[in-house]
A and B are shown apart, each in its own frame.
Chain A
Amino acid sequence: MSTSMTGPTDNAPEPRPSPRTCPSPEPHSSPRTRPFPEPPPPDADALLLPVPDDDGAPFWQYAARGELRVQGCAACGELRFPPRPCCPHCQSFDDRWQRMSGRGRIWSYVLPHPPLLPAYAAQAPYNVIVVELADAPRIRLVGNLVAAPDAPLDSVDPARIRIGAPVKVVFHEQAPGVTVPRWLLERP
Chain B
Amino acid sequence: MGATMGAGLKDAAVIAGIGQTAFAKRLPESERALACRAIVAALDDAGIAPSEVDAFASYTMEETDEVEVAKAIGAGDVTFFAKAGYGGGGSCATVAHLAAAIATGQASVGVAWRSRKRGSGPRPWRNTAVQLPTPAQWTRPFGLLRPADEIGILARRYMHEYGATRDHFFNVALACRNRANQNPDAVMYERPLTREMYMTARWISEPLCLFDNCLETDGALACVVVAAERARDLRQRPVYVHSAAQGLPAQHHGMVNYWTDDPLTGPAWTAARQLWKQADFGPEDVDVAQIYDAFTPLIPLSLEGYGFCGRGEGAAFTEGGALETGGRLPLNTAGGGLSEAYVHGFNLITEGVRQLRGTATAQVPDAATCLVTAGEGVPTSALLLRS
Binding site for B on A (CB under 8 A): 42, 47-53, 55-56, 60, 81-82, 88, 107-113, 115-117, 120, 123, 125-126, 128, 130, 138-144, 153, 158, 163, 174, 180
Q: How large is the interface on B (under 10, 10 to 19, 20 to 34, 35 or more residues)?
A: 35 or more
A25 smallest CB distance to B (angstroms): 14
Q: Give the Cβ gap from B203 to chain A, nearest Cβ, in Å.
A: 4
Task: Say if the beta carbon of B136 comes within 8 Å of chain A.
Answer: yes
The answer to whether B205 and A113 touch across the interface, beta carbons within 8 angstroms, is: yes
- Top 10 A-B residue pairs of the complex, sorted by shortest distance between their CB atoms: A110-B152, A111-B206, A108-B157, A53-B133, A50-B137, A113-B203, A51-B133, A108-B156, A110-B205, A112-B205
CB of B136 within 8 A of CB of A47, answer no
Q: Which chain A residues lie closer than 8 Å to B137 at the CB level? A: 50-53, 56, 60
Looking at chain B's contact residues, is the secondary structure mostly helix, strand, loop, or mixed? mixed
From A47, A88, A117, B251 is in contact (CB under 8 Å) with: A88
- A-B CB pair tally, cutoff 8 Å: 117
Task: Give the nearest-CB partner of A55 in chain B.
Answer: B134
B131-151 contacts to A (CB < 8 Å) = 131, 133-146, 148-149
Bound form: Cα–Cα A56–B139 in Å: 13
Residues of B within 8 A of A128 (CB): 142-144, 149, 153
Question: Residue on B with the closest CB to A143?
Answer: B142
Q: In the complex, what distance in Å separates the CA atom of A120 from the CA atom of B141?
A: 10
Collect the chain A residues with CB atoms within 8 Å of residue B205's CB: 110-113
Q: Which residues of A contact B258 (CB under 8 A)?
A: 107-108, 130, 140, 142
Contact of B134 among A82, A88, A110, A123 (CB under 8 A): A82
* B156 x A110 contact (CB < 8 A): yes
Contact of B128 among A48, A125, A139 (CB under 8 A): A48
Chain B contacts to A: CB under 8 angstroms:
123, 126, 128-129, 131, 133-146, 148-149, 152-154, 156-157, 160, 202-208, 251, 253, 256, 258-261
| Interfacial chain B residues near A174, Cβ < 8 Å | 141
B residues less than 8 Å from A50 (CB atoms): 137-138, 140-141
Q: Are A82 and B145 in contact (CB under 8 A)?
A: no
Q: How far apart are A127's CB and chain B's nearest CB, in angstroms?
A: 8
User: A112 to B146, Cβ gap below 8 A?
Assistant: yes
Give A64 to B154 CA distance when docked, in angstroms. 30
| In-complex Cβ contact of B141 among A42, A48, A53, A158 (8 A) | A48
- Contact B141 A139, beta carbon cutoff 8 Å: no
Q: Within 8 Å CB of A88, what residues of B?
A: 251
Q: A47-B143, A128-B153 are in contact. List 13 more A-B contacts (CB 8 A).
A: A53-B133, A81-B259, A82-B259, A107-B258, A109-B156, A110-B149, A111-B203, A112-B146, A128-B142, A128-B143, A142-B144, A142-B258, A144-B143
Closest B residue to A117 using CB positions: B145
Contact of B133 among A56, A110, A123, A125 (CB under 8 A): A56
A–B complex contacts, Cβ < 8 Å, 19 sampled = A48-B145, A50-B137, A51-B131, A51-B133, A56-B134, A81-B259, A82-B135, A108-B258, A110-B152, A110-B205, A112-B144, A112-B149, A112-B205, A113-B206, A117-B128, A130-B153, A130-B258, A138-B259, A163-B156
B251 touches A140 (CB 8 A): no
Report A84 CB to chain B, min CB distance, Å.
Answer: 8
Q: Give the chain A neighbours of B135 by CB distance below 8 A.
A: 82
Given contacts A128-B153, A142-B138, contact A52 B133 (CB under 8 A): yes
Q: A52: nearest residue on chain B (CB-CB)?
A: B137
A48 touches B153 (CB 8 A): no
Nearest CB to that of A131 among chain B residues? Answer: B258
Chain B residues with CB under 8 A of A116: 143, 145-146
Q: Determine whether the beta carbon of A110 is less than 8 Å from that of B141.
A: no
CB neighbours (8 Å) of A107 from chain B are 157, 258
Contacts of B138 in A (CB 8 A): 50, 56, 82, 141-142
Alpha-carbon separation in the docked complex, A128 to B131 (Å): 19
Contact B133 A42 (CB under 8 A): no
Task: Give chain A residues whose Cβ lies under 8 Å from the Cβ of B128.
Answer: 42, 48, 117
Chain B residues contacting A120 (CB-CB under 8 Å) are 143, 145
